[in-house]
Every structure is written in structure tokens, then in C-alpha cells.
């Protein structure tokens, strides 16, 4: 099979790229090496977020600790979303994290998370137990913070 040729701006004849490489270039997909780097950074971000949450809980109490924990919960979900889908755009990862945070918060209205939390510390940490409307705002703050860090990290230098 003959490779098709085309002329570039300097009038040199080059072999045309194969269809797969054109599709990858069009979609803007990163190489597997870049995806693994993104995953490594996302994993480090998730660990740092958990450490920040534990530090806030240990160092402060009251409303600040509660709402900082709510924002960090969404930041953690965003880091986990990027860990699972390293090519996700920042707005998609942050939106998914925010949607999941809100879903968990609204699920607390059903009483199911409270029942699960009574039997498991892990369920209490992940699902919470009681609905708190201000948490919805702080989840959005966390999503916005995660989006800004993710978008800033993806900017070409």
C-alpha cells in the first residue's frame, strides 16, 4: 500500500500520517507516560488532601473545621476523579466531584447514610450522617479550588 503524500508550507513532500495518529492529535490525547504522571500527581494530591483534612481536624474545631472538611472532601473527590480519568478536563473532574458531593449530602435526607454510619467508621467518614445545607456551598468552594489548581497545572508553560 502506498503512503499518500502531501506538501507542507516549505514545499517538501512528506508521507501523510496514519489515521490513528491524526485522530490522537485531533483529540489532544496525551501519551501513556503523561497519563501516568498525571495519575501520580493526582495520587499525591489525594494524600495531601487527606493529610490537610486530618490536620484541620486535629488543629481546630468548630465551624471552621467542619466546613474546611466539607471543602476538602470535594477536593479529594476531584483528585480521585483525575486519578481514575487522567485525561479529564478540569471542569469535568470538578463538576463530577461536586455532583457526587451533593448526591451524598442529599442522600443524608433519606436516613440510609445515618444507619450505615452507626455501624461503620468508614461509612461515617465517607457518607456522613446528617444533612447540613451549608455544606452544599462549601462543596462548591472545594470544587472551585480543585478546578483552579487542576486548570493551572494543565496550562502550557
Q: Is the pLDDT reported for residue 99 higher than 80? A: yes
Q: What is the DSSP letter of 15?
A: E
Lowest mean pLDDT among 30-34, 60-64, 142-146: 30-34
Do residues 140 and 73 lie in contact, with contact meaning Cβ atoms separated by under 8 Å?
no
Q: Is the pLDDT reported for residue 27 higher than 60? A: no
Chain mean pLDDT for the chain: 85
How many angstroms separate the Cα of 155 from the Cα of each of 90, 96, 150? 11, 21, 9
Reported as a single tens digit per residue, the pLDDT across 34-89 is 888 899 999 999 999 999 999 998 999 899 999 999 999 999 999 999 999 999 99
How many angstroms separate the Cα of 34 from the Cα of each of 24, 37, 39, 125, 126? 14, 5, 9, 32, 30
Amino acid at each position: 500500500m502506498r503512503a499518500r503524500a502531501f506538501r507542507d508550507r516549505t514545499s517538501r513532500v512528506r508521507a501523510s500520517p496514519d489515521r490513528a495518529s491524526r485522530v490522537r492529535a485531533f483529540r489532544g490525547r496525551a501519551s501513556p507516560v503523561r497519563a501516568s504522571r498525571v495519575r501520580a500527581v493526582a495520587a499525591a494530591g489525594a494524600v495531601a488532601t487527606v493529610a490537610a483534612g486530618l490536620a484541620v481536624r486535629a488543629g481546630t474545631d468548630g465551624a471552621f473545621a467542619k466546613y474546611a472538611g466539607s471543602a476538602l472532601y470535594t477536593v479529594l473527590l476531584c483528585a480521585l476523579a483525575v486519578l481514575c480519568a487522567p485525561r479529564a478536563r478540569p471542569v469535568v473532574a470538578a463538576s463530577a466531584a461536586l455532583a457526587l458531593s451533593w448526591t451524598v449530602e442529599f442522600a443524608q435526607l433519606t436516613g440510609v447514610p445515618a444507619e450505615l454510619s452507626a455501624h461503620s467508621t468508614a461509612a461515617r467518614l465517607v457518607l456522613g450522617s446528617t444533612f447540613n445545607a451549608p455544606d452544599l456551598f462549601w462543596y462548591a468552594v472545594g470544587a472551585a479550588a480543585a478546578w483552579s489548581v487542576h486548570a493551572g497545572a494543565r496550562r502550557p508553560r
